[in-house]
Amino acid sequence: MKIDLYSSQGEKKGTVDLNAALFGAKINEDLMHRAVVLRQANARQPIAHVKDRSEVSATTKKAFRQKGTGRARRGALSTNLLRGGGVTHGPRNTRNFSKAMPKSERRAALFSSLSSKTKAKDIFALEKFDQKAPKTKAFAELLAKLPEAKRYLFVLAEKNPTLEKSAANIPNVKTILASYVNPYDVLHAEKICFLQDALEKVEKTFLTPKKK
């Protein structure tokens, strides 16, 4: 299993081999969907909030006398039956939207998403990024020579301030460390560019069993 390798000047240089365990795994759409929903649910913030009748600040004075008016008896003005009173079953900011997913399934979803992108030929590699200073224009020129896409994801082996700052002002270009690669970002990107050393980092992170 191979992908195209580009030089730091954007010229096609050859190919690079991929690990079949990562990029040739069985594609499971259900796992990928669950992983994306997990990411979105855990990022959701419960902002909408209404008061119930115990939280409404209202006078405790009777609205009118108990008898003689011909009207029904009226108790507290904080009731949900009156305008300005409490709301029944309304949204609360204490709601918990978070979800959980076993580590084995999360990794399987990642392998599945990487394999899906590999099968679609949406992954390529960059030999290195040797730009000395952050320059958006120079990075944009390099991007124009790489496979065309609307959304890019650049995977780095380690922090690279020069590349990250060069890409920061270009719309729809995201950089991420190899150890933080996840199904959501992989599936959201149209093209994924791995720096060559990041491929080895991904293997060490997700395939090497941890010592007990």
| Domain membership of residue 13 as a residue range | 2-44+100-206
pLDDT grade, residue 106 (50/70/90)? very high
Residue 117 inside a domain? The answer is yes
Strands of the chain (E only): list them: 2-6, 12-17, 123-126, 152-156, 173-177, 191-195
Give tens-digit pLDDT for 159-181.
Answer: 999 999 999 999 999 999 999 99
pLDDT grade, residue 74 (50/70/90)? confident
Q: Are residues 34 and 136 in the same domain?
A: yes
Give tens-digit pLDDT for 79-91.
Answer: 998 889 999 999 9
| Boundary-marking domain end, from 58, 76, 96 | 96
Measured CA to CA, the distance from residue 53 to residue 30 in angstroms comes to: 43
In angstroms, the Cα distances linking 5 to 11, 110, 115, 123 are 9, 22, 18, 10
Q: Are residues 113 and 174 in the same domain?
A: yes
Using the predicted structure, report yes or no on whether residue 207 has a pLDDT greater than 60.
Answer: yes
Mean per-residue pLDDT for 46-51?
A: 93
pLDDT at 1: 82
Give tens-digit pLDDT for 112-163.
Answer: 999 999 999 999 999 988 888 999 999 999 999 999 999 999 999 999 999 9
Measured CA to CA, the distance from residue 201 to residue 212 in angstroms comes to: 21
74: buried, middle or exposed (CB in 10 Å: 19+, 13-18, 0-12)?
middle
pLDDT at 157: 93
pLDDT at 105: 96
Q: Are residues 50 and 39 in the same domain?
A: no
Task: Give me the torsion for CA of 52, 53, 57, 58, rounded to 10°.
Answer: 150
pLDDT grade, residue 73 (50/70/90)? confident
**Residue 11 contacts by C-beta under 8 Å, 6 or more apart in sequence?**
145
pLDDT at 40: 96
Q: Are residues 173 and 189 in the same domain?
A: yes
pLDDT grade, residue 211 (50/70/90)? low
Q: What percent of the chain has pLDDT over 70?
A: 98
Give the total number of structural domains in the chain.
2
Q: Are residues 38 and 121 in the same domain?
A: yes
Q: Are residues 120 and 78 in the same domain?
A: no
Q: Could you give phi then psi for residue 80, rounded to 5 degrees?
A: -75, -5
Are residues 134 and 103 in contact, defined by beta-carbon separation less than 8 angstroms?
no
Q: What is the pTM of this model?
A: 0.83
pLDDT at 212: 54
pLDDT at 210: 60
pLDDT at 209: 67
Q: What is the DSSP letter of 171?
A: T
